[in-house]
Structures are given as C-alpha cells and as structure tokens.
C-alpha cells in the first residue's frame, strides 16, 4: 500500500500539472456540442408550446362554429357542379373504383378496417400529458389478455376511440381562406354546410388534431435523443481529469510553438464555458 501511494504521488503530480498546463481539446469540443444541444432543446420546447397553442386554437374554432346555422344552398351548389363533371377514382387502400363525391367516406372506412388489424402496444402507460383535457395523446387502452397498452394516437384509434355523434343542426365549421379581406370576420370564413352531409371536409377536426399530435410525438422523440446526447457529453466532461484518467493519459508536446497552442486552447475552453446556453426548464 505504501509503494502504491508513493507511485501515485510521484506520477500524479506531473500528470496533474500537465493537465492544467494544456487543457484537453476534447473539453472544448464537448462544451461546443453542449451549447448546440441546449440551443436545440430550447427551440424544441418552444415548438411544443406552439403546438399546445394550436390545440387551444382548434378547440376555440370548433366551439365558435357551434353558434352558426346551416346554409343548405352550399351542398346543393356542390351537387350541381359535381353532376356536370362527375369522375371516379381508385381507393388507395382496397383499390376499387368509387365515385369522387363518396371517396373520403369510403377511404375512412377502409383505413379503420386495415388499421384495426394491427396492434401497437407497450407494457407501460404513457406519462406525457396532452392538451385534450389533460389526457395523453396516445390511446392507452389496456388490453387484459396481452397486458399491454394501446399506443396508437388517441384521436385516430379506430378500435378503442368512439366517434362523437353529429347533430343534424351542426355546421361543418372548416376554416376557409378569406378571399378579399383577411381582417373581415364574417360568416364566409368557415364552411356552413351540414357536418353530417359535407362531402369535402369529412372529419377535418380529427385529422387536424392528429396532425398536431403527430408533430408533438416527433418533437418528444427528438428531445429524448438530445437529452441522451447531453448526458453523454456531460459524463465525458465530468470523468475527464479524474485519478484514473490522469494516470493513464498524457499530452506529448512535439511543437515548438506550444505556447501559442496553450493560449489558444485555454481561451477556447474559457469562452465555451461562459457562453453555454442554459436549458429552459
């Protein structure tokens, strides 16, 4: 033990002085990478806040449409225009030929039929909360035989999510672009056709909410990847300069202009350590 302590005291002193004299370039690289990661984390967290606001805007738009009445002439005009130029298309799921007017309803049924045959599950319930009343954006239906939770998007799950019943006097409410004046808050900025019979904007609220939830899911996955990269860089910095690292590594000076290199590395490390952006909590 005395011999081991003497060896450590003899070799560690020189290694420690060498480590303080020439800061490792890896520290500078890790600090630069941490700065980049923190900036990306802040951008993604701001994006999540914007997506939550989009959820609220969608809810307000749906609530606003409930105060309008149905205009029966809209669907009649669409029928007149479709009679003169009626066409048929192929279903992207089953491949049969269908009328263009009824294509959306048919494709919706085909999608639900095919999607219900596949199961996306996990043994753990989702902990991330969404904006729909504090509920998760995933279905999270517990399947007792498999002891797993359904991991489809809640709004798009055809197996466990029940469709809301549409009233006869409910308008479509799809937001239409304003042609003349974008500041004009008139009735022409939403579709006033019957929600039950509107053939153009079938279940637009469901699709828009699913689009927002899918973007949130991608953002959370990217955040998880960035947090793992941040942990790895912080671990590398914390483990660099300890007893084992100093005794097993050293810097070999081979350049005559080592003083310029030392000053450059020192200033770089100090700059990176002072300009690291904190992560928004």
Q: What is the pLDDT of residue 265?
A: 60
pLDDT (tens digit per residue) in 156-177: 787 777 777 777 788 888 887 7
Domain assignment of residue 128, given as a range: 40-84+117-248
> Is residue 201 situated within a structural domain?
yes
Phi-psi category of 93—alpha, beta or left, where left has phi over 0 and alpha has psi -120 to 50? Answer: alpha
- Which residues contact residue 93 at a Cβ distance below 8 angstroms, ignoring those fewer than 6 apart? 107, 110, 111, 113, 114
In a domain, 10, yes or no: no
**pTM assigned to the model:** 0.69
Q: Is residue 46 part of a domain?
A: yes
pLDDT of amino acid 255 = 58
- Predicted pLDDT at 85: 52
Question: pLDDT value at position 229?
Answer: 93
Ranges of the chain with pLDDT below 50: 84, 130-134, 179-187, 281
Sign of the CA dihedral with 95 first, then 101, 105, and 108 last: positive
| Per-residue model confidence (pLDDT) at position 230 | 94
pLDDT score for 224: 92
State the total domains in the chain: 1
- Confidence at residue 226, expressed as pLDDT on a 0 to 100 scale: 94
* Domain annotation covers residue 64: yes
Residue linked to tokens 């939830």: 213
* pLDDT (0 to 100) of residue 182: 40
pLDDT of residue 267: 65
User: 137 lies in a domain?
Assistant: yes
Token pair belonging to 44: 């993604």
Asked whether residue 227 is domain-assigned, the answer is yes
Q: Does 80 reside within a domain?
A: yes
Residue 272: inside a domain, yes or no? no
- Separation of alpha carbons 162 and 151, rounded Å: 16
């Amino acid at each position: 033990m005395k011999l081991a302590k003497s060896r450590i005291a003899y070799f560690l002193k020189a290694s420690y002085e060498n480590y303080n004299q020439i800061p490792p370039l890896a520290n500078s690289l890790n600090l630069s990478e941490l700065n980049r990661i923190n900036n990306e984390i802040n951008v993604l967290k701001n994006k999540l806040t914007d997506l939550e606001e989009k959820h609220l805007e969608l809810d307000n738009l749906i609530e606003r449409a409930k105060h309008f009445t149905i205009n029966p002439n809209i669907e009649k005009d669409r029928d007149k225009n479709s009679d003169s130029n009626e066409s048929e298309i192929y279903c992207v799921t089953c491949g049969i030929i269908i009328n263009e007017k009824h294509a959306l309803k048919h494709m919706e049924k085909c999608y639900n039929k095919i999607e219900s045959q596949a199961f996306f599950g996990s043994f753990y319930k989702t902990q991330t909360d969404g904006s729909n009343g504090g509920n998760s954006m995933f279905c999270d239906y517990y399947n007792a035989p498999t002891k797993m939770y359904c991991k489809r998007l809640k709004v798009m799950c055809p197996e466990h999510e029940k469709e809301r019943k549409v009233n006869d006097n409910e308008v479509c409410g799809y937001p239409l672009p304003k042609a003349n004046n974008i500041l004009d808050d008139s009735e022409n900025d939403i579709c006033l056709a019957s929600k039950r019979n509107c053939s153009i904007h079938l279940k637009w609220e469901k699709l828009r909410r699913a689009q927002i939830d899918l973007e949130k899911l991608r953002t959370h996955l990217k955040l998880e990847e960035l947090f793992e990269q941040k942990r790895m860089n912080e671990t590398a910095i914390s483990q660099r300069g300890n007893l084992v690292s100093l005794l097993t590594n050293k810097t070999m000076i081979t350049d005559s202009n080592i003083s310029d290199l030392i000053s450059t590395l020192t200033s770089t490390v100090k700059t990176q350590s002072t300009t690291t952006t904190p992560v928004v909590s």
